Amino acid sequence: MTHIILFNLKVRKANRLRQSLTQSQSLELSITKMLLCVVFVFGICYLPMGGSLLADYSTNLDPTLFRKIYLFGVLSTSVNSAVNFMIYCFMSSKFRVVLMGLWKTPTSRGAGNCRATNSTSSTTISTANSTNSIRTE
């Protein structure tokens, strides 16, 4: 019972401290949470691949069992990429804004007035709203 009371007091103190943070400190805290989440998911998803490679070098596994473990490891590393995308979407409002800006239709971005000029050193694409340069070497 004493542990629960102490835990509740610590949680209340942490909440008061969090409410007194400045905007930049709050932003740093949210970025830190997101990065810790990404690192945690990375570790979990790459564990089967690392385990299968370690087991292959240290023991004589049945080839079919090793193949199954290895394929599960490949699948889990692919899942890591998908989960990272979801983490960024859920935890970063700036990422969501940029992503929604990329999903706009070309006509809503002013691509109807698009002209491209090519030269040997750079390519410039101009729209009604902005000009973007792409360097090619």
pLDDT value for 39: 93
For 8-57, write each residue's pLDDT tens digit.
888 888 777 777 777 777 778 888 888 999 999 999 999 988 887 787 77
Asked whether residue 97 carries a pLDDT value surpassing 60, the answer given is yes
Q: What is the dihedral of CA 129, 133, 134, 137, to 10 degrees?
A: 170
Give, in degrees to the nearest 5, the angle at Cα 55 between 51 and 60. Answer: 160
Predicted TM-score of the model (pTM): 0.56
Instruction: Provide the H-helix boundaries in the chain.
Output: 2-19, 23-58, 63-91, 93-102
Cα within 13 Å of Cα(7), Cβ side:
4
Query: In DSSP terms, which residues pair with 96 in a beta bridge?
Result: none
